[in-house]
Amino acid sequence: MKSLTQLALLLLLCSSPSALAAAGAGGPARAADAGYMARGADAGNTARAADAGNTARAADAGTARKSDAAAKAKDGDELAQARSGLRDRLLELATWCNTSEIFEERDKVYRQVLELDPDNLDAHKGLRHSRAPDGTWKESSKRDAKNRNPKALADLPKKRAEAIKPFSTALVAMARAAGTDAAAQKACIDQVLALDPDDAQAHEFLGDVREGDLWVLPDTVRGKARRAEIKGFASSALAGVAAPVGETPSSTDIVIEKPWTSALRVGSVRVFGTVGAEEAGNIARSCDAAGAFAKSIFGVECPFPPQFTFYALEKKDKDAFVKRIPDIDDAERARIVKLEGSGIPRREDVALWTGDPARTLDAAVRHTLSHLFGRGFGMTTNSGWAWEAFGLYLTRELIGTRLTWFVSDSPADATAAATSLRGRLLSPKTNWMNEALTLFASENPPHIDALMKRDLGHLDTRDVLAGYALAAYLIEARPDAAANFVKRSSAGEDPALVVKEVLGFTLPELQVRLTRWLTERR
């Protein structure tokens, strides 16, 4: 048997690394034993810690569930109390209506009571319902309930608001307490507005503002004022252009054997052509004005290309001009000659030969805006909705037409409905915003996230209209955010991120808000 001194020495050796090193041949074995002992102790400690952690987490989860259940029970109690109090006040209001001889309104109030409390005896009696043997209520023979007191009828809205206000106050408070739970907030506010569509507390919670007798989005009020500003911007831009001056073609300009009948410059825009001087001057003035107009709309400098040039041609001069375009092959030449005009490949100049002054002017402004947007926002055809929509919107506001589309017919446009829509949009009499409302309010509305991800080659007519509505919303209702939205969308950022960080909405919230704005804009 080892002595106590020997046992003490062994424990010391097993617990001291330096002592283990000096223990001689028996040291490694003893060290291994000690290691196993230590690992066993650690494992036991770890297991106990894990058990304790699991127990703590389970306790926390149980506490959380109890807390959630308690919160839901509290919310349920608060809602039940609010509905009970409302029911009692509505019964009092129905009694007042009866005493005041506004019988039609009395019956409406009783029916609202039954929506809150389907078995309410007072309401059923007030409506002269009879109870069937199975316990259900049946409506007796119809009675002709009329309002006979105009003065009481005039007093009713105030009394009704007084009856509903405590309920509204309670549910708006519950909506605020719901925090970021949008579904819970909506459920609370919807109950209030179902009773009183004009309830001020509910509308103020939603951020609505009063315009006359209506509650509307602040965007609606702002948009109305902004549309008047936009008309002023267009007028000022057109009035502010410089007088045309003569322009001599340079060695890099395209010339044909026939002399140019028009050769002029207005500001940053040059025009050479075989059309009349008036038409050429109108093109130059309108396209130069587009630069000032775009800056007024977005608050961003959108520079013109250097020596920006239009070739405005009579149709009969098309072939002669296309033959003179340098640095293109026969395939490009054959493609261009089939068109009514084209950007000049590998240049920033444009040639047009539509044969119609209005179409030529519209196309010239659209091409100008495309260059301005590209230089001001980095916009390309990859952001198809923005390329088409902002170009169409600004062209229409500046010169009154929407004749030039860069979106061609797609397979989606082959249906009768799409063909009909495209035909309507091409008519100058069509209200595009009304068409957009019909589209967004339909059973199959366009989705903004999908729209913002498509390039120009994958847009169809529905997309053109949806993009136009979104562009109008940004320009009219959110002018503070329009430029940043366009820049980030053009850069290919995720639509959900752009919408959230620039506008403060989720994509579904923007979809709902845009539809409502279209409704209120009319």
4 domain residue, yes or no:
no
Cα→Cα distances 277→114, 244, 263, 264, 311, Å: 76, 10, 8, 9, 13
* Rounded Cα gap, residues 249 and 171, in angstroms: 73
Say how many C-beta atoms besides its own lie within 10 A of residue 196's C-beta.
Answer: 18
Using alpha carbons only, give the angle 370, 372, 378 rounded to the nearest 5 degrees.
Answer: 85
Element (H, E) at 272: strand 269-273
Look up the pTM and report it.
0.77
Task: Determine the pLDDT at residue 38.
Answer: 42
Say how many C-beta atoms besides its own lie within 10 A of residue 140's C-beta.
Answer: 10
377, 410, 437 - which closes a domain: 377
> Do 198 and 101 reside in the same domain of the chain?
yes
> Do 365 and 435 reside in the same domain of the chain?
no
328, 362, 377 - which closes a domain: 377
Task: Determine the pLDDT at residue 468.
Answer: 98
> Contact at 8 Å (CB) between 311 and 321?
yes
Residue pLDDT, tens place only, 133-170: 888 998 877 778 899 999 999 999 999 999 999 999 99
> Do 488 and 415 reside in the same domain of the chain?
yes
- CATH code assigned at 354: 3.40.30
Q: What are phi and psi of 36, to 5 degrees?
A: -60, -40
Residue pLDDT, tens place only, 105-127: 999 999 999 999 999 999 999 99
* Rounded Cα gap, residues 176 and 472, in angstroms: 32
> Do 330 and 455 reside in the same domain of the chain?
no
> Contact at 8 Å (CB) between 276 and 261?
yes
Task: Determine the pLDDT at residue 73.
Answer: 52
Q: Which residues pair with 138 in a beta bridge?
A: 130
> Do 393 and 515 reside in the same domain of the chain?
yes
pLDDT bracket for residue 76 (50, 70, 90): low
Q: Is 141 left (phi over 0), alpha (psi -120 to 50) or beta?
A: beta
> Do 175 and 99 reside in the same domain of the chain?
yes
304 domain residue, yes or no:
yes
6 domain residue, yes or no:
no
99 domain residue, yes or no:
yes
Residue pLDDT, tens place only, 224-271: 999 999 999 999 999 999 999 999 999 999 999 999 999 999 999 999
Q: What are phi and psi of 343, to 5 degrees?
A: -70, 145
> Do 393 and 522 reside in the same domain of the chain?
yes
> Do 116 and 143 reside in the same domain of the chain?
yes
- Using only C-alpha atoms, the chain has a radius of gyration, in whole angstroms, of 38
Q: If you average pLDDT over every residue of the chain, what do you get?
A: 87
* More confidently predicted of 66 and 140: 140
Cα→Cα distances 295→213, 230, 236, 367, Å: 36, 11, 12, 16
Say how many C-beta atoms besides its own lie within 10 A of residue 452's C-beta.
Answer: 23
pLDDT bracket for residue 321 (50, 70, 90): very high
440 domain residue, yes or no:
yes
Whole domain around residue 414: which residue ranges? Answer: 378-522
51 domain residue, yes or no:
no
* Rounded Cα gap, residues 117 and 192, in angstroms: 16
> According to the 3-state scheme, what is the secondary structure of 421-448?
HHHHHHCCCCCHHHHHHHHHCCCCCCCH
248 domain residue, yes or no:
yes
> Do 385 and 476 reside in the same domain of the chain?
yes
pLDDT bracket for residue 45 (50, 70, 90): low
pLDDT of 438 above 60 = yes
Task: Determine the pLDDT at residue 48.
Answer: 52
Task: Determine the pLDDT at residue 414.
Answer: 63
DSSP structure string for 3-64: -HHHHHHHHHHHH-HHHHHTSGGGHHHHHHHHHHHHHHHHHHHHHHHHHHHHHHHHHHHHHH
Element (H, E) at 245: strand 245-246
Indicate the number of domains in the chain.
Answer: 3
Q: What are phi and psi of 129, to 5 degrees?
A: -80, 150
> Do 199 and 250 reside in the same domain of the chain?
no
23 domain residue, yes or no:
no
Task: Look at the block and give the residue holding tokens 């072939």.
Answer: 319
> Do 129 and 183 reside in the same domain of the chain?
yes
> Do 112 and 84 reside in the same domain of the chain?
yes
How many Å separate Cα 318 from the centre of its chain? 43
Written as one letter, the residue type at 99 is T
Residue pLDDT, tens place only, 356-398: 999 999 999 999 999 999 999 999 999 999 999 999 999 999 9
462-481 b/e (C-beta count within 10 Å ≥ 16 → b): bbbbbbbbbbbbbbbbbbee
